[in-house]
Amino acid sequence: MSSEANERELEEGIVTDFKNRMTYGSYLDLDKLLDAQHPVSQPEHHDELLFIVQHQTTELWLKLMIHELGRARDLLAADDLREALKPIARIKHIQDVITRQWSVLATLTPTEYSEFRGFLGNASGFQSVQYRCVEFALGNKNEKMLSVFRSHPENLAMLTAEWERPTLYDEFLRLVARRGLSVPASILERDVRLPYRETPELIPVIKEVYENTHEHWELYEACEELVDVEDNFQFWRFRHLRTVTRTIGMKRGTGGSTGVDFLQRALSLTFFPELYSVRTEIGR
């Protein structure tokens, strides 16, 4: 009878009295979460909500990515490479989600964005402390970025802690050394606050892993997982670049950068250079 009426009956066991019970909304703190979108345009522009939600959801995924990067590094430091591959795999899926969601923001036309962009002042994704934490955790350390957060002590402390912590690649290469391979001392003893730079002497070590996969299978698998992470990050950077290009053209960014040109230069940054350079040497 209910199917004919296009209606589904509630099953007898479904809970409907939540007077003294946790609810879906209270567990997720939805009252606070769904009340965190505050358009600033006057009059309020219809498309500003899209812009806000896009960036807020990205920040939630970045929060989870930071959480997983911390877990992966702890496991690598504890010599548990197999277990460390799980959070790395999860990071790859997060990257896929935040890259694909650029397509939603790309529905915002230049005309629509221009109608509320001026209300944003100097607010810019450049100021995302979580994004900088992810970059630092993966190896793109930049001490100058700390100055962006000097007016926000909590964010400065968060990024400073990440700046002083070994990167994902640092922890992986330390593990490789503990597995008996000849990782150069300059890498193992490097100042982890500096951006990671390619060390040619490491390439033969990585080549040994790739050319002896049966002996070094876990290391080989981890190298390919790290390459996936870097590729995914570059896909994200490129999608960001293209979305900005189609939305504001060659205008300067709200945060003061040159916009597209500044984003273009980020594509030359790398996290795990030897994992790419080794491909030229394999088979020679």
Q: Which amino acid appears at position 175 of this protein?
A: L
> Is the pLDDT at 1 greater than 60, yes or no?
no
> Is the pLDDT at 114 greater than 60, yes or no?
yes
DSSP secondary structure code for residue 268 in this structure: T
Distance linking the first and last C-alpha atoms of the chain: 73
Residue 26's pLDDT is 95
The tokens for 268 are 């030359």
Mean pLDDT value across residues 113-141? 94
**Per-chain mean pLDDT for the chain:** 94
Q: Residue 260 — very low, low, confident or very high, per pLDDT cuts 50/70/90?
A: confident
Q: Residue 267 — very low, low, confident or very high, per pLDDT cuts 50/70/90?
A: confident
Residue 254's pLDDT is 84
Residue 2's pLDDT is 56
More confident residue, 10 or 134: 134
Q: Residue 251 — very low, low, confident or very high, per pLDDT cuts 50/70/90?
A: confident
Contact present, 256 and 122 (Cβ < 8 Å):
yes
Q: Residue 248 — very low, low, confident or very high, per pLDDT cuts 50/70/90?
A: confident
CB atoms within 10 A of CB 140: 18
